[in-house]
Amino acid sequence: MTALTASSTIGTWLDDPVGGPIVKGLLEASGATEETLTPLRTLPLQQLVTLSQGKMPQSVVDDLVKQANGGVIPEESEASGAWQETVTSGRFGGQTVVVTGAASGIGLATASRIAREGGRVVAVDVSAEKLQTFAASLPNAEIIPVVGDITKQESVDAIVAAAGERIDGLANVAGVNDDFSPLHETSDAMWDRVIGINLTGAFKLSRAVIPAMIAAGSGRIVNVTSEAGLRGNASGNAYTTSKHGVIGMTRSAAFMYGPQGLRVNAVAPGGVATGIPFPPNVSEAGSARLAPFQSAIPTLATAEQLAASITFLLSEDSVNINGQVLASDGGWSVQ
């Protein structure tokens, strides 16, 4: 039998005669129930550390693994039951791809996958330190970190300058959450920040790279929207508006530039286990109204699973696809 490790899925742990009681004991101690973990069943146990946003240290996962294995941490086995990312060697060979939000979560997983598949990645984020850590983690890859804020024209100019004449792909991933507020409670500051980063930033950067793509007669843009771009009950008003806007921008650009060889698509993630922060004071009214719908999320994905969807649309494998919104949400949108 395969040993239970940090890579084994939460479902495998819960169903295991040894692992099940250990995880349930931890849940009980924190006042939670097994049902809390239902959307997480397909995720590796390790993802609990990312999901907890610092509340659960790595040592808790290590202790669970030790408890299940007589006090030792066993070697990881390929057959952990969790989905494994499969790198397609050379898929982005000879290509330059700009990825925003590349220091964390979905953007980081996307930038990493492209770099490991031979692409030259212009990795953009406001976080200099985390970008540096990413670049250092893949010393043999071609990663050009650009520290910048996509809402600022000078940053957009710096990104285009770093990319050079040829830009094969752009992944607009950078984004921020709102405070779950309903429309009449939304402050100007919240609206401006969320629309500014999620929609206007993606617009400004797309506007800046499209001329190079038109000149080359080819190019792919992938915009990251959200389940909140598809429905009204997944987030607050500002975020929902921004992500619906991203879909409109995607469709219009796909229509306008299709004849010139460009393809513009969007990915709509459902719940993803990243450390994406929420503002400190979320709206009580908005949260209460959203809660029953958010608890119906069928499953959470890893950032790497979203990168698989995004890189598919960035690559030539998606050759005949233009103007589409790919819901990468474990089936949430069909509920």
Ligand X SMILES: NC(=O)c1ccc[n+]([C@@H]2O[C@H](COP(=O)([O-])OP(=O)(O)OC[C@H]3O[C@@H](n4cnc5c(N)ncnc54)[C@H](O)[C@@H]3O)[C@@H](O)[C@H]2O)c1
Which residues does the annotation mark as catalytic? 239, 243
Asked if 104 is part of the footprint of ligand X (rule: CB under 6 A), the reply reads yes
Q: How far is the CB of 275 from ligand X (least distance, A)?
A: 5
**Residue 254: what are its φ and ψ, rounded to 5°?**
-60, -40
Residue 224 touching ligand X (CB under 6 A): yes
Q: Where are the beta strands (DSSP E) in 169-301?
A: 169-172, 219-224, 262-269, 271-272, 300-301
Measured CA to CA, the distance from residue 115 to residue 117 in angstroms comes to 5
Pick from 110, 226, 283, 328 the residue near ligand X by CB under 6 A: 226
Q: Where does this chain touch ligand X (CB under 6 A) — which range of 58-66, 81-89, 123-131, 163-171?
A: 123-131
Among 44, 101, 119, 145, binds ligand X (CB under 6 A): 101
- Among residues 117, 125, 168, 178, the one that binds ligand X under rule CB under 6 A: 125
> Using the rule CB under 6 A, is 200 a contact of ligand X?
no
Closer residue to ligand X in complex, CB, 208/272: 272
Count CA atoms within 13 Å of residue 209 on its CB side. Answer: 35
What amino acid occupies position 282? V
What Cα–Cα distance (Å) separates residue 30 from each residue in 11, 46, 214? 19, 18, 55
The answer to whether residue 272 forms part of the interface with ligand X (CB under 6 A) is: yes
In the shown chain, the binding pattern of residues 148 to 187 toward ligand X, with x for contact by CB under 6 A and - for none, equals: -xxx---------------------xxxx-----------
**Which is nearer to ligand X, 173 or 212 (by Cβ)?**
173
Number of alpha carbons in the 13 Å side-chain half-sphere of residue 143: 29
The answer to whether 106 contacts ligand X (rule: CB under 6 A) is: yes
Q: Under the criterion CB under 6 A, does residue 330 sit at the interface with ligand X?
A: no
Q: Smallest Cα–Cα separation from 205: which of 249, 252, 258, 144? A: 249
Does 135 bind ligand X (CB under 6 A)? Our answer is no
Number of amino acids touching ligand X (CB under 6 A)? 29
* Nearest residue to 67 (alpha-carbon basis) of 11, 101, 111, 25: 25
CA distance 255 to 37: 42
Query: Which residues of this chain interact with ligand X, rule CB under 6 A?
Result: 100-101, 103-107, 124-127, 149-151, 173-176, 197, 201, 224, 226, 269, 271-272, 274-276, 303
